A = this chain, B = another copy of it.
Amino acid sequence: MEIPSVYLEQAVDQLASLPGVGRRTALRLALDLLKRNDVEIDDFVSALSALKDKVLRCQNCGNISDTPICGICSNPKRDPSIICVVEDIRDVMAIESTSTFNGMYHVLGGLISPMDGIGPQALNIASLPVRIEKDQPKEIILALSATMEGDTTNFYIFKKIKTYDLLVTRISRGIAVGSELQYADELTLGRSLQQRQIFDLQQ
Residue of B nearest to A3 (CB): B93
In angstroms, Cα B11 to Cα A48, docked, is 5
Whether B47 and A51, one on each chain, are in contact in the complex, defined by CB atoms closer than 8 angstroms, is no
Inside 8 A of A96's CB, which chain B residues have their CB? 2
Interface residues of A in 109-157 (CB under 8 A from B): 109
By a CB distance below 8 angstroms, the chain B residues around A10 are 47, 50
A97 within 8 A of B: yes
The count of identical subunits is: 2
26 A–B contacts, CB within 8 A, in A order? A3-B64, A3-B93, A4-B63, A4-B70, A4-B89, A4-B92, A4-B93, A5-B65, A10-B50, A11-B50, A13-B47, A18-B29, A18-B32, A18-B33, A20-B28, A21-B29, A27-B90, A28-B90, A31-B89, A33-B48, A33-B51, A35-B109, A38-B52, A41-B48, A41-B52, A42-B52
